[in-house]
Amino acid sequence: MIYYFYINFLIINIYLYFRMNKAFHMLQQNWYNDSNRYVKWAFKNLHQVINKKELFIFVLLCVSENIIFHFLVGAYHLALTYDLIKNSKQEQVKKPLVNTPRIKRLKFTTYLLLLLTVYVGSLYSLNIMYAGVFLFSILIFKMVYLANILNKPIEKLVYLHYKTKAQNKLKNINHLEVIGITGSYGKTSSKNILNDILNVKYNAYATPKSFNTPYGIIIAINNNLDKFTDYFIAEMGAFYKGEIKGMAKMVKPKYGILTIIGKAHLDTFGSQENIMHGKFELIENLDKDGTAVLNADDERQIEYVANHLKNTCDIKWISINNDSADYQAKNIKISGIGTTFDVHFKKLDQTHTFTTKLLGKENVYNILAGIALGHLFGMNIEELQRGVSKVNTIQHRLELKKYKHINIIDDAYNSNPVGAKMALDVLNLMDGKKIVVTPGMIELGEEQKEINKTFGKQMAKVADAIILIGEKQTKDILEGIQEEKYKKENIYILNDVKQAFPLIEQLSDDKTYVLLENDLPDLFNE
């Protein structure tokens, strides 16, 4: 009878492979349970964590050793595996599981736990062996969580090794200057814009994509930074106070840009005050002879500098509305092909015109920050103008695209209240039919309901048609839309963004603009 068990064990392993990968995927997207994110996700998504179909056969195996039962076990798991494969093909995966060394170590530990379960069961009876394997399968998300806990000492040693290696590399490039960038919104855009501007004259390197965690920064330094780099630009993100301070201590930036202090990750920071102090950890940890670029139109930044700032570093203020700023943008003109604006250089008492392919008022702030540091580093006006004109459109951030005959405004990355409103303003400038596709905004704490409701009201005033992704996720947006007496026949609710594109084609005419506002990670799939 034991041979039948091992045959079935091989079949069950195929099923477990897919179930484990789902668990690893969610663990990775939840930052390896940093701040219990994975645990919170699991409790909110029990329908994904527990497969009820497994419970049925688990009850039977405790009372039967009949040979027919063994065949049923194998056949049943083949059917379960078939369902998983079929569903995985239909499921939209926005960011697939990345098989990093850490994930490989987790897989090894998880399989060791599985083999240990089989061994302990073999000491008793065949039924206990089956029960152990089935329990492991039913509790697979918890077993992956356990493996993650067991691996923590190893991961800490690995982290310290690569952190030391990265710090030594930074020390050994004598001429290198480090720039840190943080803020609630616009970090990645600001980083990419600064990188493009500086590379007109210097050799700059920025952390890729959204590598804004300690691990991401370490990987960027160890894998890509070289001795020819003049400026290293490190994007720094955070969920809690103290995280940015840790990154600043690690890379020791001399220069820093603080984009804007908003309500992103309000649920983890706990309060707007905590967000403000958390973001200013970068500025507080700059060299005393360094320079911070701050936004004079952000009241929280002005308030912090006036009442809390301890660092005596130099400050360069950028602004659109404040005439006393060191770099002020005026006469902003946004069209379907880009943005033109004037910049007044206070120190030079001169005004010069800049043109960019980027859209939106918030990108003007990001460009101003790049101009401020570029000018400080010795770039002349012509070089700065050339740099701004060469700034590349930033993927998924008000990026203009074509889908067949339809114009797409792709703003699918990490929506926030300020950015969402700006995206709607850009859409409103377009001459043609306007459609919005969105699942709404997340991680905004107790204010999330009201923010999404307001977003719905704003949307209703601009869009000719609205496509909401996720019935539960978008119920607050729908409430806001309905309060504006928006036509019901122009509202569409789908549970998969892939279904939106055939619908967009049906709704579009000769001149249609579609705003894709936010694209939630896979862990928010309904």
How far, in Å, are 200, 256, 291, 369, 389 from residue 194 at the CA level? 10, 12, 15, 8, 12
Task: Kindly give the interhelix angle for 2-29 and 126-138, rounded to the nearest 10 degrees.
Answer: 20
Task: Kindly give the interhelix angle for 475-483 and 448-460, rounded to the nearest 10 degrees.
Answer: 50
Predicted local confidence at residue 56, as pLDDT:
62
Q: What's the predicted TM-score (pTM) here?
A: 0.83
Q: How confident is residue 345, by pLDDT bands cut at 50, 70 and 90?
A: very high
For residue 138, pLDDT over 80 is answered with: yes
> What is the arithmetic mean of pLDDT over 217-243?
94
Q: Which residues, 6+ apart, have CB-to-CB distance to 75 below 8 Å?
A: none
Predicted local confidence at residue 146, as pLDDT:
97
For residue 326, pLDDT over 90 is answered with: yes
Predicted local confidence at residue 165, as pLDDT:
97
Q: Which of the two residues, 2 and 286, has the higher pLDDT score?
A: 286
Asked if 461 contacts 421 with a C-beta cutoff of 8 angstroms, the reply is: no
- For residue 447, the 8-state DSSP code is G
For residue 68, pLDDT over 80 is answered with: no
Asked if 439 contacts 373 with a C-beta cutoff of 8 angstroms, the reply is: no
> What is the arithmetic mean of pLDDT over 64-69?
61
Q: How confident is residue 159, by pLDDT bands cut at 50, 70 and 90?
A: very high
Same fold, 174-390 and 399-524: no
For residue 65, pLDDT over 80 is answered with: no
Q: Which of the two residues, 444 and 175, has the higher pLDDT score?
A: 175
Note the maximum CA span of the chain: 91
Mean pLDDT check: name the lowest of 5-9, 34-38, 389-393, 463-467: 5-9
Three-state secondary structure call for residue 292: strand
Tokens of 174: 């004598």
CATH topology for 399-524?
Protein-Tyrosine Phosphatase; Chain A (3.90.190)
Predicted local confidence at residue 352, as pLDDT:
98
The CA radius of gyration of the chain, in Å to the nearest whole number, is 26
CATH topology for 174-390?
UDP-N-acetylmuramoyl-L-alanine:D-glutamate ligase (3.40.1190)
Mean per-residue pLDDT of the chain: 88
From the list 297, 299, 331, the residue with the least C-alpha distance to 317 is 297
Asked if 437 contacts 497 with a C-beta cutoff of 8 angstroms, the reply is: yes
Q: Which residues, 6+ apart, have CB-to-CB distance to 335 below 8 Å?
A: 429
For residue 524, pLDDT over 50 is answered with: no
Task: Locate the domains of the chain by residue range.
Answer: 2-150, 174-390, 399-524
Q: How confident is residue 462, by pLDDT bands cut at 50, 70 and 90?
A: very high
For residue 95, pLDDT over 90 is answered with: no
How far, in Å, are 28, 269, 446 from residue 41 at the CA level? 12, 18, 17
For residue 381, pLDDT over 60 is answered with: yes
In one letter, which amino acid is 446?
E
User: The dihedral of CA 244, 245, 250, 255: what is its sign?
Assistant: positive
Per-residue pLDDT of 404-444, as tens digits, reads 888 899 888 767 888 888 889 889 988 889 999 998 887 77
For residue 278, pLDDT over 50 is answered with: yes
Asked if 137 contacts 12 with a C-beta cutoff of 8 angstroms, the reply is: yes
